[in-house]
Amino acid sequence: MARIICIANQKGGVGKTTTAVNLAVGLSTAGERTLLIDLDPQCNATSGIGATPSEAHPLLLDKPLRESLQDTSWENLRILPGSRSFVDVDRLERGESSDSAVLRQNLDTGMASFDFVLIDCPPSLGQLTQAALSASTEVLMPIQCEYYAMEGLTQMIHVIRDVMQRGQGRLTFGGILLTMYDPSLELTHEVDSEVREFFGDIVFDTVIPRDVAVSEAPSHGISVMDYAPRSRGCRAYLELCMEVLERD
């Protein structure tokens, strides 16, 4: 059975999509058959690997999700693209055709050929994010090393616990990832210390540094591994891939 990892946080700008794209590319490069699902109406994960958004969101089409998959430049990586349709976004936000049963059924029956399925969620705690959590086997939560990180983390934990209680033991906590890590700032160390003290081994050893290469890579439709293979960001995401594989 595939490991279905939901990458979620209700706060925007914390590195969800960047993590989804680079983790997907890293896992596929390691030989893992990987699927990236873009549930964010901004479609940044789709464009971030050079794919094309769909005219209609695949979750709202009357056909299996596997028929909407697109190939990518990476041999072992495919993507279920998002859609920027305002009508589709409105329907998804209202929960139409995006309930957990529909998404989970598609993942259970149509994605058996994959080792990893990564779901990039929108920055909200709405219907779509909760459906993705319910359909996943684990959740990975990136948080930015800033003052409001702990407040947002607390809200997200409550939602995750609710889904765990309703999901009959399917969803587990895959890990918390510290992003935009700047070791020169005292605040970074304070957030790091508080998160690790409270959550312990749930927090990944790997931290994602502030690195211009990580920010520039999406504009070229490629991962940081391809854009700047000697950068700090590339090294960090490769280390994250190894940690994810080791946590199997």
CATH of the domain at 173: 3.40.50.300
- The pLDDT profile of the chain, 248 residues, written as one tens digit per residue, is 789 999 999 888 899 999 999 999 999 999 999 999 998 888 999 999 999 998 887 777 777 777 889 999 999 999 999 887 767 666 666 655 555 566 667 666 667 789 999 999 988 888 788 888 888 999 999 999 887 777 778 888 888 888 888 766 588 999 999 999 999 999 999 999 999 998 899 999 999 999 999 999 999 999 999 999 999 999 999 999 999 999 87
The secondary structure of residue 59, as a DSSP letter, is: G
Domain span at 131: 3-246
Closest CA to 124 of 63, 42, 62: 42
DSSP string computed for 195-245: HHHHHGGGEEEEEEE--HHHHHGGGGTS-HHHH-TTSHHHHHHHHHHHHHH
Amino acid at residue number 85: S
Task: Look at residue 142 and give its three-state secondary structure.
Answer: strand
* CA 92/CA 138 separation, integer angstroms: 22
Tell me the pTM.
0.92
Do 109 and 15 meet the contact criterion of CB atoms below 8 Å apart? no
> How far is CA 85 from each of CA 41, 51, 88, 139, rounded to the nearest angstrom?
8, 16, 5, 27
Domain count, the chain: 1
Closest CA to 7 of 50, 33, 32, 44: 44
